[in-house]
Amino acid sequence: MPKLMTSRRSLLKGAAAGGLLTASPLVARFASAQSSAPIKIGFQQHATGIGAAYGRWYGRTTDAAVKAINEAGGINGRPVEIIAEDDGTDPKRGAEVVEKFANQHGTDVAFGTLFSHVVYGSAPAAGEQKMPYFVVSEGHHVASGKLNRYTLQPGITDVKSQVQAMAPYVSENLGKKVTMIFPDFAFGHDHRDFFTAAIEAQGGEVLEHIAIPPTETSFTKYFPKIPRDTEVLYHVMVGPAVLTFVKELGEFFGPSSPEIFGFIDSLEAVDLSSPGLEFLEGTYFWEGNPRYAQADQTSFDKNFRAAVGVDENGASVSDPADVSTYAHMFGCWETLHVIKAGMEAADYQGPQDRQKLIEAVEAMSDMAESDAHPQGPKVFNGKTHQVFGKQYISRVEGGKLLRVHATSIEDTLYPDEVDYTTMTF
Amino acid sequence: MSLSARSIALHMSLIAILFILCFTLSDYHQGNLARILVLATYAIGYNVLFGYTGLLSLGHAMFFAAGLYGLGLPMHLAGLAPLPAFVIGVLCAALLSALVALLALRTIGVAFMIVTLMFAQCVFLSILYFGTWTRGDEGFVIPQAARQIMGLDLTDPTTRYLAALLLFSTALLITARIMQQRFGHVLIAVRENEERTQMLGYDVFRHKFLAVVISGSISGAAGAAYGLLFGYVGATFASVQYSIFPLLWVLLGGAGTTIGPLVGAVFMFYLIDYSSGFTNAYMLIAGVALVLLVLFARSGIMGEIRKRWVPWLP
């Protein structure tokens, strides 16, 4: 057994450090709380695997949000501590991580998951552990009613609302005859189903659905399937082959292409000036949050960029080549502020108050645009556990994304598909 | 004590220890071990084919997935009760393994690896293609309320652990028994020298066929149990990496040993769990551990123990 040795020198050092710490303003601010023990938030991070680029920026945003929250006095006077665990962007490991938060780290809540399959894989564990699980995924899984009362998505909108909100702008400004190219798995199928219904509701039509198998690395053979009378090409390709996709699309069409509309998911963390992306000039993208600082940038966006360390081009201030996942990562910032607001409303003291926390979040509704919600104003639906907010459409001009349209929140709403508040805890 | 009696004593002791651990471990490790027992069952299935018969499959995830979806889809789409759904899951895996065996066993060696890999890719891509029902890569959740058998709540940690232990023990005892019988000896003979086994008059194809079916069925039972006990069914479990995992677990634990699959699954799980606390490059640590094992303990942990100290180890 190792011996515990405490010398007089180390004791003095410890006492001095302790004195300094208790004298610091931060501790004084936290000292008024009933307990000064930190609020532990388990951060399920895609540090490795296919979601690693997102995970890196989700991590930076999370750290910045926690720093801001702690500098403002923490939650209920207690400091916030983030405990990050890598889920490998894998649903099995995701569930294990949630169990680790609950049974080993003893976190108060879990948060941060992006990829839908990890959310699906982890949500049962969250429900069984009775662990409030705040996802930042943009999947329709929460609002569809397929998960449980412990799973909420209060910081980022879902794909159904995003897609349907695009249809009015596309049909009015770009064209009514659409061809869709999408990956042949659930993410692509969501776009196919939601956008097809939405564009038809606008009097438009989808001429052709072109599903690309996920193992595909070259796309040229699919392009002849695009009907000649296509007015708008809608693409949502993701993954490492997306640069090849854009390059081959450019080679296929040359200068005379239809209008092209895509989701920035394809190019998150990718520099728009990358070779081969010149073809994107003049094309349109959905953005959850405009990557490039716009002329009418709000002070909230400015503060958010400064806190996370993102420049006006959406890249790291320390490395212009390190492009952020700006359209999504605000979700971590906003979710953490919702957790803070929920815990304060519930007077959260510890895990015994988890149900009160969920009820407090369910009771939320309007969230004003602010430093806590820099992406824009939002409306939270407590029944479906899903937040709704503005969506943005940008056009590539001069190699940068210029916002040309912002939807209303009403454009993104759809009938409730579930009422989680009727479910037991 | 005879070899058979020693073997029985070892396996029953292991099961008894695992039973006691259910009530002595912390919540976290109890949950982990429940998951490991299901995964070790998958590895036991793999070991029947790789460890004992000498057939290296790179597509076993298809059998795991057949069990997973065989259970999950009837529950998800038709509201079937867990017990019949579990039986359907195992039958799906058995049927798929029989079909794959009929075709893949026409090949040997590297070709067998590639053919099994290709079949597994077909299954994986089919799950994505039929996304309307399977929800593709996202998968679907089996609700907590549906995961009950005869009044037993399989989402309760202790019940779940005991259910996982029952599955593991059944697979362990069945394979241990098989390997003590003539059928198992012929499988080992096939592994050691297929031509000689054939010359001795044994129907090698029939034995290999049955080995694939037994292996696939046990793997499918593990897949069905995973869906039932942990409530998630997704295409990730049909991907290539989930074909590689049982190979690693069996290699680490000791191919051709009955308890090697469990040892390998425990070792790998906790290696990743602990090393991920220090670095994001935890797979590098796992890789280095594997290289070291291949260099210094080629027979895996239990294989080396058998070679050096306990020659009777089954």
Q: Provide the 3-class DSSP secondary structure of residue A367.
A: strand
**pLDDT, tens digit (0-9, with 9 covering 90-100), for B128-173:** 989 889 998 899 999 999 999 988 999 999 999 999 999 999 999 9
Report pLDDT for B118: 97
C-beta of residue A66 within 8 angstroms of C-beta of residue A38 = no
Chain A hits for B131, CB-CB cut-off 8 Å, are: 184-186, 189
Neighbours of A21 (CB within 10 A): 10
DSSP secondary structure code for residue A376 in this structure: -
What are the start-end ranges of the E strands in chain B?
Answer: 140-141, 148-149, 152-153, 232-233
DSSP reduced 3-state for A38: coil
- Structure confidence at residue B71 as a pLDDT band (50, 70, 90): very high
pLDDT tens-place string over residues A124-135: 999 999 999 999
How many angstroms from the chain centroid is the CA of residue A254?
34
Q: Which has more confidence, B150 or A15?
A: B150
Q: Cβ contacts of residue A211 below 8 Å, gap of 6+?
A: A182, A183, A184, A188, A192
| Number of independent structural domains in chain B | 1
Residue with tokens 């490998």: A88
The mean per-residue pLDDT over the stretch A243-251 comes to 87
Sort out which chain B residues have CB atoms less than 8 A from A91's CB and list them.
Answer: 139, 232, 234, 236
Domain that residue B42 falls in: 3-240
Mean pLDDT of B300-314: 90
Judged by CB atoms within 8 Å, which residues 31-50 of A form the interface with B?
47-48
CA dist., res. B260 & res. A222, Å (int):
48
Q: Supply φ then ψ for residue A158, to 5 degrees.
A: -100, 165
Pairing outcome for strands A232-235 and A177-183: parallel
- Among candidates A85, A90, A187 on the partner chain, residue whose Cβ is nearest the Cβ of B236: A90
Q: Are residues A133 and A200 in the same domain?
A: no
Q: What DSSP character marks residue A154?
A: -
Q: Please report residues of A whose CB lies closer than 8 A to that of B136.
A: 185-186, 189
Is A117 within 8 Å of B137 when comparing Cβ atoms? yes
CB contact under 8 A, A124 and B142: yes
Name the residue with tokens 């019988």: B181
Contact status of A124 with chain B (Cβ, < 8 Å): yes
**Residue B253 in domain:** no
Question: Is A62 among the domain residues?
Answer: yes
Over residues B66-89, mean pLDDT: 97
Q: How many domains in chain A?
A: 2
CA distance A92 to A112: 16
- Burial code of B60-87, b = ≥16 C-beta within 10 A, e = fewer? bbbbbbbbbbbbbbbbbeeebebeebbe
Spatial neighbors of A297 by CB under 8 A, at least 6 apart, are none
DSSP A41: E
**Cα–Cα distance for residue pair A45/A55, rounded to 1 Å:** 6
Asked if A104 has any chain B CB less than 8 Å from its own CB, the reply is: yes
Give CA separation, A16 vs A9, A25, A31, in Å: 11, 16, 19
Cα separation values, B177 from A35, B185, B314, Å: 58, 11, 10
Is the pLDDT confidence value at A27 over 80? no
Q: How far is A379 from chain B (nearest CA, A)?
A: 26
A20-34, A44-58, A263-277, B249-263: which range is least confident on average? A20-34
Q: Which two tokens stand for residue A31?
A: 């000292």
Q: Could you tell me which chain B residue has the CA closest to the CA of A211?
A: B129
What is this structure's pTM? Answer: 0.89
Which chain A residues are within 8 Å of B280, Cβ to Cβ? Answer: 47-48, 86
Do A38 and A78 share a domain, yes or no? yes
Q: Which helix (H) or strand (E) holds A15?
A: helix A8-23
- Residue range A150-160, pLDDT digits in tens: 999 999 999 99
pLDDT band of residue B228 (cuts 50, 70, 90) is: very high
Q: Which domain holds residue A349?
A: 8-157+324-384
Specify the pLDDT at position A22.
44
Closest CA to B297 of B262, B272, B260, B270: B260
Report the run of H or E that residue A26 belongs to, with start and end: helix A25-31
CB contact under 8 A, B137 and A186: yes
pLDDT digits (tens, 9 = 90+) for B191-200: 999 999 999 9
Higher pLDDT, A215 or B255: B255
Token couple for A176: 């009514």
* A153-186 tens-digit pLDDT: 999 999 999 999 999 999 999 999 999 999 888 8
Of A90, A127, A146, the CB nearest to B144: A127
Instruction: Give the tens place of pLDDT for each residue, A78-119.
Output: 999 999 999 999 999 999 999 999 999 999 999 988 999 999
Residues A240 and A329 in one domain: no
Q: Which amino acid is at A62?
A: T
Per-residue pLDDT band at B1 (split at 50, 70, 90): low
For residue B190, give how far its alpha carbon lies from the nearest alpha carbon of chain A (Å). 35
Position A307 in a domain = no
| Chain B hits for A99, Cβ within 8 Å | 28, 31-32
Taking all residues of chain B, what is their mean pLDDT, rounded to a whole number? 94
Q: Is A150 found in the same domain as A54?
A: yes
* Chain A: residue whose CA lies nearest to B25: A103
**Helix A326-345 vs helix A299-308: crossing angle, to nearest 10:** 100
Backbone phi and psi for residue B309, each to the nearest 5 degrees, phi listed first: -125, -35
Give mean pLDDT, residues A269-275.
Answer: 87
CB B214 within 8 A of CB B90: no
Q: Examine the pLDDT at A17 and tell me if it is beyond 50.
A: no
**Structure confidence at residue A241 (pLDDT):** 77
Whether A62 and A332 have beta carbons less than 8 Å apart is answered as yes
CB contact under 8 A, B232 and A47: no
Q: Show the tokens assigned to B56.
A: 């290296």
Q: Which residues contact A114 (CB under 8 A, 6 or more apart)?
A: A46, A51, A54, A55, A58, A135, A136, A137, A138, A328
Q: Which two tokens stand for residue A366?
A: 């309007």
For residue A121, the distance in angstroms to the closest alpha carbon of chain B comes to 5
Specify the range with the lowest mean pLDDT, choosing from A255-259, B177-181, B202-206. A255-259
What phi and psi, each to the nearest 5 degrees, are found at residue A109? -145, 170
Cβ of B136 and A189 within 8 Å?
Answer: yes
CA dihedral B298, B299, B302, B308 (to 10 degrees): -90
Query: Which of A135, A396, A165 shows the shortest CA–CA distance to A270?
Result: A396
State yes or no: pLDDT of B15 exceeds 70. Answer: yes
CATH of the domain at A233: 3.40.50.2300
**Within-domain flag for A414:** no
Structural domain contains residue A344 = yes
Helix (H) or strand (E) holding A182: strand A177-183
Token duo for residue A383: 């029944």
Which of A377, A371, A381, A372 minimizes the C-alpha distance to A391? A377
Tell me if A104 is assigned to some domain. yes
pLDDT class for B290, splitting at 50, 70, 90?
A: confident
Residue A144: the pLDDT is 95
Which chain B residue is nearest to residue A48, measuring alpha carbons?
B280
Chain B CB contacts of A117 under 8 Å are 137-139, 234-236
Find the length of chain A: 425
How confident is the model at residue A266, as a pLDDT? 81
Test mutation, B137, B142, B249, chain A, max A CBs within 10 A: B137
> What is the pLDDT confidence band of residue A30, given thresholds at 50, 70 and 90?
low
Mean pLDDT of A221-226: 94
Instruction: Please tell me the predicted confidence (pLDDT) of residue A197.
Output: 95
The answer on pLDDT for A28 being more than 60 is no
Specify if B211 maps to a domain: yes
In the beta sheet, which residues pair with residue A109?
A: A41
B157 vs A contacts (CB less than 8 Å): 128
d(CA B120, CA B118): 5
Residue A281: how many other CB atoms lie within 10 Å? 13
The counts of H helices and E strands in chain B are 14, 4
Percent with pLDDT over 90 in chain A: 76
Q: Tokens representing A240?
A: 């490492």
| Tens digits of residue pLDDT in A289-344 | 999 999 999 999 999 999 999 999 999 999 999 999 999 999 999 999 999 999 99
pLDDT band at A12 (very low <50, low <70, confident <90, very high): very low
- By Cβ distance, the residue of A90, A95, A186 closest to B230 is A95
pLDDT digits (tens, 9 = 90+) for B150-162: 889 999 999 999 9
- The model's pLDDT over A108-117, given as tens digits with 9 standing for 90+, comes to 999 988 999 9
Q: Is A291 exposed, middle or buried (0-12, 13-18, 19+ CB in 10 A)?
A: buried
Both A176 and A50 in one domain: the answer is: no
> Which residue has tokens 């820099």?
A374
Question: Same structural domain for residues A27 and A124?
Answer: yes
Please report how many Cα atoms fall inside a 13 Å half-sphere around the Cα of residue B116, on the Cβ side: 28
Instruction: Give, to the nearest 10 degrees, the angle between helix B241-253 and helix B282-296.
Output: 40
Contacts of B146 in chain A (CB under 8 A): none
Asked whether the beta carbons of A369 and A300 are under 8 A apart, the reply is yes
Say which of A91, A96, A186 has its CB closest to residue B131: A186
Residue A34 pLDDT class (50, 70, 90 cuts): low
Higher-confidence position of B125 and A36: B125
| B141 neighbourhood in chain A, CB within 8 Å | 120, 123-124, 146-147
- A29 vs B246, residue with greater confidence: B246
The predicted-structure confidence for A135-151, as pLDDT tens digits, reads as follows 999 899 999 999 999 99
